[in-house]
Amino acid sequence: MSKVWLVTGASRGLGREIARAALDAGETVVATARSADAVRDAFAGEHHRLHALALDITDARAATSVAAETVERFGAIDVLVNNAGYAELGFFETFTDAAVRRQFEVNLFGTMNVARAVAPHMRQRRSGLIVTISSVSGLVSNGGGAVYSASKFAVEGWMEGFAQELAPMGVRSLLVEPGMLRTEFMDRKSARFGSIDIPDYAEAIAQYRAFVDGANGNQPGDPKLLAARIVALASQGEVPSRLVFGDDARQWAGAKVDQLRQEITRSAERG
The SS3 of residue 41 is helix
For residue 82, give the H/E element and its range. Answer: strand 79-82
Pick left, alpha or beta for residue 221 (phi over 0 → left; psi -120 to 50 → alpha; otherwise beta): beta
Among residues 11, 135, 137, 148, which one is catalytic? Answer: 148
Among residues 11, 134, 135, 137, which one is catalytic? Answer: 134
Among residues 11, 149, 151, 152, which one is catalytic? Answer: 152
Long-range contacts of residues 209-218, Cβ cutoff 8 Å, at least 24 apart: 211/144, 212/89, 212/144, 212/186, 215/180, 215/186, 216/186, 216/187, 217/182, 218/182
The three-state (H, E, C) secondary structure of 115-175, written as one string: HHHHHHHHHHHCCEEEEEECCHHHCCCCCCCHHHHHHHHHHHHHHHHHHHHHHHHCEEEEE
Compute the Cα dihedral for 44, 49, 50, 51 and give only its sign. Answer: positive
**Is 152 one of the catalytic residues?**
yes
Enzyme catalytic residues: 134, 148, 152
